[in-house]
Amino acid sequence: MPHVLHLIKPPVSAQALATIRRQSREPGTTLTVVLTQGVPALPLPDGVPILRLADQSLAPGALTYPQLLDLLFAADQVVSW
């Protein structure tokens, strides 16, 4: 079961959203989406985990850089948009 990590930075491309939607329907594929600073909330399919990378303020619940590294090494594929 492949795990795909999508890192999204502004501006958000329509191709990125279309790819994530398509992959979310693929049987056996697990997705995680990480939004960087400046990316607005995205209309992604239900069930796709969306995490926001912490900026310097370290907002509560934000993903830290060590946590991002863990996700990077755990993923089978990483796509940066």
Q: Tens digit of pLDDT for each residue in 36-46? A: 999 999 999 99
Task: Indicate the SS3 state at residue 4.
Answer: strand
**Could you tell me the pTM of the whole model?**
0.91
Q: What count of residues does the chain have?
A: 81
Query: What's the pLDDT at 55?
Result: 76
Task: Indicate the SS3 state at residue 2.
Answer: coil
- pLDDT tens for 3-62 read 999 999 999 999 999 999 999 999 999 999 999 999 999 999 999 999 999 876 667 778
* Phi, psi at 50, each rounded to 5°: -120, 120
